[in-house]
Amino acid sequence: MSLNLTDITLTYPDGDTRLTALDQVSLHVPRGSLTAVVGPSGSGKSSLLAVAATLITPDTGTVTIDGRSTTGLTRGDLTELRRHKIGIVFQQPNLLPSLTAAEQLQVMAQIDGRKPRTDHTRAMELLDAVGLADQAGRRPHQLSGGQRQRVNIARALMNDPTVLLVDEPTSALDHERGAAVLDLITRLTHQQATATVLVTHDHTHLTAVDQIAEVHDGRLALPTPTR
């Protein structure tokens, strides 16, 4: 079980021509492992995550999740797949200002049509896993930037996804908080057995990842195992 990207090419319209954002990218991420995709700004990292998240359909190539190809699925099928299989942590937390930390998580499961009581238990488990059990009743403005980012990460795990996709989670954090968020993502990847892809523009904090792939101008160098 895993996330597989095979031969992905993605272009965007660019005046009279097209800009190649991803150029024949392939990547294999087993469950319970963490892959870092590193590259400068504009190299295609967010595009790679959007394709893996099935939010953008590539020009060519295949995204396979848990052995099932997403090619040819309807928009409805893709929405369903994202809801059940994919957790996405965008760069900006986008928490809802009026909801408590626990409610931010519960909303995800209610979209998924589960029972509120189960949701509350799961939300508390995850807040505990990210070290925020005692902040469950706080709203976003009562939390620090690092705490909001941890709520954001916990929320992405609410529906037990197979795939966890994280976009530059440390860019707004200082060194120490950045390292703590990386540790957290590593631990959750193992605990929740997600196939995790983390994109970042810097190499700091990447000591515990399973493989590092470098992206330049939409081309992905072969991933280097780190252990």
Ligand X SMILES: Nc1ncnc2c1ncn2[C@@H]1O[C@H](COP(=O)(O)OP(=O)(O)O)[C@@H](O)[C@H]1O
Query: Which residues of this protein are in contact with ligand X, per CB under 6 A?
Result: 12, 19, 21, 39, 41-47
Q: How far is the CB of 150 from Mg ion (least distance, A)?
A: 21
> 191 by DSSP, 3-state: which?
helix
**Residue 42, binding choice from ligand X, Mg ion, none, Cβ under 5 to 8 Å by partner class:** ligand X
**N- to C-terminal Cα separation, the chain:** 21
Q: Which stretch binds Mg ion (CB under 5 A): 29-37, 40-48, 121-129, 185-193?
A: 40-48
For residue 98, the minimal CB distance to ligand X (Å) is 30
CA distances from 68 to 72, 73, 216 (A): 11, 10, 28
Instruction: Determine the 3-state secondary structure of 158 from DSSP.
Output: coil
Comparing CB distances to ligand X, the nearer of 136 and 199 is 199
Minimum distance, C-beta of residue 154 to ligand X, in the bound complex (Å): 24
Q: What is the β-pairing status of strands 195-200 and 163-167?
A: parallel
Contact 159, 87 (CB under 8 A): yes
Q: Among ligand X, Mg ion, none, what binds residue 148 when CB lies within 5 to 8 Å by partner kind? A: none
Q: Is 46 in the site for Mg ion (CB under 5 A)?
A: yes
Judged by beta carbon distances under 5 to 8 A according to partner kind, the member of Mg ion, ligand X, none in contact with residue 43 is ligand X
Q: Is the dihedral of CA 22, 28, 167, 63 positive or negative?
A: positive
Nearer to ligand X, 5 or 109 (CB): 5
What is the rounded CA–CA span in Å between residue 100 and residue 131? 15
Which amino acid is located at 227 in the chain? R
Map tokens 């937390």 to a residue.
93
39 binds, among Mg ion, ligand X, none (CB under 5 to 8 A by kind): ligand X
Give the residue at shortest CB distance from Mg ion.
46
Three-class SS state of 207: helix
The CB-of-65 to ligand X minimum distance in angstroms stands at 20
Q: Which one of ligand X, Mg ion, none interacts with residue 140, CB within 5 to 8 A by kind?
A: none
Residue type, 7: D
**Number of chain residues interacting with Mg ion (CB under 5 A):** 2
Query: Binds 223, which of Mg ion, ligand X, none (CB < 5 to 8 A, cut-off by type)?
Result: none
**Residue 58 vs 140, nearer CB to ligand X:** 58
- The answer to the question of residue 56 lying near Mg ion (CB under 5 A) is no
Contacts of 74 (CB under 8 A, 6+ apart): none
CA distances from 98 to 59, 101, 141 (A): 40, 10, 9
| Minimum CB–partner distance for residue 47 and ligand X (Å) | 3
- Interface residues with Mg ion (CB under 5 A) are 45-46
